[in-house]
Amino acid sequence: MQAKDIKNTIEVCFSPHSFPLYPSEDSIVVVIDVLRATSSICAALHYGVERILPVASVLEARNYQSKGFLCAAERQAQKVEGFDLGNSPSEYNNPKLKGKIIVFTTTNGTQAIRAAREAYRIVIGSFVNLTVLCEWLSHQNKNIILLCAGWKDFFNIEDTLCAGAIAHKLYKTNRFETNIDSTLASISLYELAQKDLTRFMENSSHFKRLEKLNLADDVKYCFTPDLAPVIPILEGHYIVPYKNQ
Protein backbone atom coordinates (compact mmCIF):
# COMPACT_ATOMS: atom_id res chain seq x y z
CA MET A 1 0.00 0.00 0.00
CA GLN A 2 1.41 3.40 -0.97
CA ALA A 3 1.48 6.26 1.53
CA LYS A 4 -1.22 8.17 -0.31
CA ASP A 5 -3.60 5.22 0.16
CA ILE A 6 -3.22 5.10 3.95
CA LYS A 7 -6.33 6.37 5.67
CA ASN A 8 -6.65 7.92 9.10
CA THR A 9 -8.62 6.20 11.82
CA ILE A 10 -11.67 7.17 13.88
CA GLU A 11 -11.92 5.91 17.45
CA VAL A 12 -14.70 6.47 19.97
CA CYS A 13 -13.92 6.61 23.67
CA PHE A 14 -17.07 6.24 25.75
CA SER A 15 -15.85 8.12 28.84
CA PRO A 16 -12.89 10.13 30.19
CA HIS A 17 -12.16 7.25 32.56
CA SER A 18 -11.05 5.13 29.58
CA PHE A 19 -9.23 7.89 27.74
CA PRO A 20 -5.72 7.10 29.07
CA LEU A 21 -5.90 3.89 27.02
CA TYR A 22 -5.98 5.92 23.78
CA PRO A 23 -2.78 7.24 22.17
CA SER A 24 -3.71 10.88 21.66
CA GLU A 25 -0.38 12.72 21.26
CA ASP A 26 -0.72 12.76 17.47
CA SER A 27 -4.53 12.73 17.25
CA ILE A 28 -7.25 15.34 17.14
CA VAL A 29 -9.59 14.79 20.08
CA VAL A 30 -13.19 15.89 19.72
CA VAL A 31 -14.73 16.40 23.16
CA ILE A 32 -18.47 15.72 23.12
CA ASP A 33 -20.94 16.64 25.88
CA VAL A 34 -24.19 17.11 23.99
CA LEU A 35 -26.31 17.77 27.10
CA ARG A 36 -25.06 20.41 27.51
CA ALA A 37 -21.49 21.71 27.86
CA THR A 38 -20.22 21.39 24.31
CA SER A 39 -23.53 22.62 22.91
CA SER A 40 -23.31 25.67 25.20
CA ILE A 41 -19.70 26.33 24.20
CA CYS A 42 -20.69 26.27 20.53
CA ALA A 43 -23.65 28.57 21.23
CA ALA A 44 -21.53 31.02 23.22
CA LEU A 45 -18.89 31.40 20.51
CA HIS A 46 -21.54 31.51 17.79
CA TYR A 47 -23.30 34.39 19.57
CA GLY A 48 -20.09 36.36 19.95
CA VAL A 49 -18.31 35.38 23.17
CA GLU A 50 -14.63 35.99 22.47
CA ARG A 51 -13.15 33.03 24.34
CA ILE A 52 -13.90 30.48 27.04
CA LEU A 53 -11.57 29.31 29.80
CA PRO A 54 -12.56 25.77 30.87
CA VAL A 55 -11.67 24.89 34.46
CA ALA A 56 -12.23 21.61 36.26
CA SER A 57 -13.52 22.77 39.65
CA VAL A 58 -16.02 25.20 41.13
CA LEU A 59 -13.24 26.47 43.41
CA GLU A 60 -11.11 27.46 40.40
CA ALA A 61 -14.09 29.27 38.90
CA ARG A 62 -14.74 31.13 42.17
CA ASN A 63 -11.11 32.26 42.24
CA TYR A 64 -11.49 33.72 38.76
CA GLN A 65 -14.81 35.30 39.71
CA SER A 66 -13.15 37.04 42.65
CA LYS A 67 -10.78 38.65 40.12
CA GLY A 68 -13.66 40.07 38.10
CA PHE A 69 -14.15 37.38 35.45
CA LEU A 70 -17.57 36.38 34.18
CA CYS A 71 -18.05 32.78 35.33
CA ALA A 72 -20.40 29.96 34.37
CA ALA A 73 -20.75 26.95 36.65
CA GLU A 74 -23.00 23.89 36.57
CA ARG A 75 -23.20 20.86 38.80
CA GLN A 76 -25.83 18.11 38.80
CA ALA A 77 -27.41 19.79 35.72
CA GLN A 78 -28.11 23.02 37.65
CA LYS A 79 -26.47 26.43 37.80
CA VAL A 80 -24.24 26.75 40.86
CA GLU A 81 -25.50 29.43 43.21
CA GLY A 82 -23.64 32.71 43.04
CA PHE A 83 -22.33 32.39 39.48
CA ASP A 84 -23.12 34.63 36.54
CA LEU A 85 -24.19 31.89 34.14
CA GLY A 86 -25.10 28.23 34.01
CA ASN A 87 -24.97 25.62 31.27
CA SER A 88 -28.00 26.41 29.10
CA PRO A 89 -27.23 27.34 25.49
CA SER A 90 -30.00 29.98 25.57
CA GLU A 91 -28.14 31.98 28.23
CA TYR A 92 -25.43 32.83 25.74
CA ASN A 93 -27.76 34.46 23.22
CA ASN A 94 -27.18 37.77 24.94
CA PRO A 95 -25.66 40.86 23.26
CA LYS A 96 -24.02 41.82 26.57
CA LEU A 97 -21.76 38.75 26.29
CA LYS A 98 -20.29 39.67 22.90
CA GLY A 99 -16.54 40.09 23.08
CA LYS A 100 -16.39 38.75 26.64
CA ILE A 101 -14.19 36.09 28.24
CA ILE A 102 -16.12 33.47 30.22
CA VAL A 103 -14.69 31.02 32.74
CA PHE A 104 -16.62 27.77 32.42
CA THR A 105 -16.94 24.65 34.59
CA THR A 106 -19.44 21.80 34.29
CA THR A 107 -20.09 18.38 35.76
CA ASN A 108 -18.76 16.42 32.79
CA GLY A 109 -17.67 18.46 29.78
CA THR A 110 -14.83 20.43 31.30
CA GLN A 111 -13.55 17.28 32.99
CA ALA A 112 -13.31 15.63 29.58
CA ILE A 113 -11.41 18.61 28.21
CA ARG A 114 -8.96 18.32 31.09
CA ALA A 115 -8.55 14.57 30.45
CA ALA A 116 -7.59 15.23 26.81
CA ARG A 117 -5.03 17.97 27.55
CA GLU A 118 -2.06 16.00 26.12
CA ALA A 119 -3.69 15.54 22.71
CA TYR A 120 -2.27 16.97 19.51
CA ARG A 121 -5.32 19.20 19.26
CA ILE A 122 -8.66 19.49 21.08
CA VAL A 123 -11.86 20.64 19.42
CA ILE A 124 -15.43 20.78 20.67
CA GLY A 125 -18.22 18.78 19.09
CA SER A 126 -21.99 18.57 19.29
CA PHE A 127 -24.95 18.20 16.99
CA VAL A 128 -25.23 21.99 16.81
CA ASN A 129 -21.94 22.27 14.90
CA LEU A 130 -22.02 18.85 13.24
CA THR A 131 -21.64 19.73 9.55
CA VAL A 132 -18.94 22.40 9.81
CA LEU A 133 -16.96 20.29 12.29
CA CYS A 134 -17.03 17.20 10.09
CA GLU A 135 -16.04 19.19 7.03
CA TRP A 136 -13.03 20.60 8.92
CA LEU A 137 -12.02 17.24 10.39
CA SER A 138 -12.17 15.57 7.00
CA HIS A 139 -9.32 17.79 5.75
CA GLN A 140 -6.95 17.56 8.73
CA ASN A 141 -5.14 14.34 7.77
CA LYS A 142 -5.02 13.21 11.39
CA ASN A 143 -6.39 10.30 13.37
CA ILE A 144 -9.55 11.29 15.24
CA ILE A 145 -10.57 10.33 18.77
CA LEU A 146 -14.17 11.14 19.67
CA LEU A 147 -14.19 11.54 23.46
CA CYS A 148 -17.62 11.24 25.04
CA ALA A 149 -17.88 13.13 28.33
CA GLY A 150 -20.52 10.71 29.61
CA TRP A 151 -22.05 11.22 33.03
CA LYS A 152 -19.55 11.15 35.90
CA ASP A 153 -17.26 8.80 33.94
CA PHE A 154 -20.09 6.46 32.94
CA PHE A 155 -21.38 5.77 29.42
CA ASN A 156 -24.29 7.82 28.17
CA ILE A 157 -26.43 7.61 25.06
CA GLU A 158 -26.45 11.22 23.83
CA ASP A 159 -22.69 11.62 23.52
CA THR A 160 -22.40 8.22 21.86
CA LEU A 161 -25.08 9.22 19.34
CA CYS A 162 -23.15 12.37 18.48
CA ALA A 163 -19.89 10.43 18.18
CA GLY A 164 -21.73 8.06 15.86
CA ALA A 165 -23.02 10.95 13.76
CA ILE A 166 -19.53 12.41 13.38
CA ALA A 167 -17.98 9.02 12.60
CA HIS A 168 -20.78 8.29 10.11
CA LYS A 169 -20.12 11.52 8.20
CA LEU A 170 -16.34 11.14 8.24
CA TYR A 171 -16.47 7.51 7.16
CA LYS A 172 -18.56 8.51 4.12
CA THR A 173 -15.76 10.82 2.91
CA ASN A 174 -13.65 7.73 2.18
CA ARG A 175 -10.72 9.41 3.96
CA PHE A 176 -11.01 7.36 7.14
CA GLU A 177 -11.19 3.74 8.16
CA THR A 178 -12.27 1.97 11.27
CA ASN A 179 -12.58 -1.58 12.51
CA ILE A 180 -12.88 -0.51 16.14
CA ASP A 181 -15.92 -1.89 17.94
CA SER A 182 -16.73 1.30 19.86
CA THR A 183 -16.81 3.28 16.62
CA LEU A 184 -18.87 0.70 14.77
CA ALA A 185 -21.33 0.49 17.68
CA SER A 186 -21.66 4.30 17.80
CA ILE A 187 -22.37 4.49 14.07
CA SER A 188 -24.97 1.72 14.36
CA LEU A 189 -26.68 3.49 17.28
CA TYR A 190 -26.79 6.75 15.35
CA GLU A 191 -28.20 5.06 12.23
CA LEU A 192 -30.92 3.55 14.41
CA ALA A 193 -31.82 6.89 16.01
CA GLN A 194 -31.13 9.50 13.33
CA LYS A 195 -34.71 9.95 12.10
CA ASP A 196 -35.85 11.25 15.51
CA LEU A 197 -32.98 11.78 17.94
CA THR A 198 -35.07 13.42 20.66
CA ARG A 199 -37.65 10.64 20.71
CA PHE A 200 -34.88 8.03 20.81
CA MET A 201 -33.49 9.80 23.87
CA GLU A 202 -36.74 9.93 25.84
CA ASN A 203 -35.92 7.01 28.13
CA SER A 204 -32.32 7.99 28.75
CA SER A 205 -31.17 9.03 32.20
CA HIS A 206 -29.98 12.54 31.40
CA PHE A 207 -33.03 13.34 29.27
CA LYS A 208 -35.21 12.52 32.27
CA ARG A 209 -32.93 14.50 34.57
CA LEU A 210 -33.23 17.63 32.43
CA GLU A 211 -36.95 17.11 31.87
CA LYS A 212 -37.53 17.18 35.64
CA LEU A 213 -35.66 20.49 35.77
CA ASN A 214 -37.92 21.97 33.03
CA LEU A 215 -35.07 22.12 30.53
CA ALA A 216 -36.87 20.57 27.56
CA ASP A 217 -35.97 23.58 25.39
CA ASP A 218 -32.29 22.92 26.05
CA VAL A 219 -32.68 19.32 24.92
CA LYS A 220 -34.42 20.41 21.71
CA TYR A 221 -31.65 22.90 20.95
CA CYS A 222 -28.86 20.43 21.66
CA PHE A 223 -30.27 17.82 19.28
CA THR A 224 -30.90 20.22 16.39
CA PRO A 225 -28.03 20.01 13.89
CA ASP A 226 -26.08 23.05 12.74
CA LEU A 227 -27.64 25.77 14.92
CA ALA A 228 -24.17 27.01 15.92
CA PRO A 229 -21.84 26.45 12.95
CA VAL A 230 -18.53 27.20 14.64
CA ILE A 231 -15.47 25.08 15.40
CA PRO A 232 -14.40 25.73 19.00
CA ILE A 233 -10.73 24.86 19.37
CA LEU A 234 -8.46 24.88 22.39
CA GLU A 235 -5.61 27.35 21.88
CA GLY A 236 -3.37 27.43 24.95
CA HIS A 237 -5.73 27.58 27.92
CA TYR A 238 -8.68 29.09 26.02
CA ILE A 239 -11.36 27.76 23.72
CA VAL A 240 -11.75 30.09 20.74
CA PRO A 241 -13.57 29.90 17.39
CA TYR A 242 -11.31 28.43 14.74
CA LYS A 243 -10.43 30.88 12.02
CA ASN A 244 -8.88 29.66 8.81
CA GLN A 245 -5.74 31.72 8.42
- Where does the pLDDT of residue 122 fall: very low under 50, low under 70, confident under 90, or very high at 90 and above? very high
Residue 2 confidence (pLDDT) above 90: no
* Antiparallel, parallel or unpaired: β 238-241 and 232-235: antiparallel
Tell me the pLDDT tens digit for each residue of 40-49: 999 999 999 9
Tell me the pLDDT tens digit for each residue of 12-43: 999 999 999 999 999 999 999 999 999 999 99
What percentage of the chain reaches a pLDDT higher than 90? 89
Tell me the pLDDT tens digit for each residue of 76-100: 999 999 999 999 999 999 999 999 9
Please tell me the predicted confidence (pLDDT) of residue 4.
Answer: 54
Residue 232 confidence (pLDDT) above 80: yes
Residue 160 confidence (pLDDT) above 60: yes
Please tell me the predicted confidence (pLDDT) of residue 245.
Answer: 42
Burial class (CB in 10 A: 0-12, 13-18, 19+), 215: buried
Residue 1 confidence (pLDDT) above 80: no
Look up the pTM and report it: 0.95
Q: How far apart are CA 224 and CA 226, in angstroms?
A: 7
What average pLDDT does the segment 107-120 reach? 96
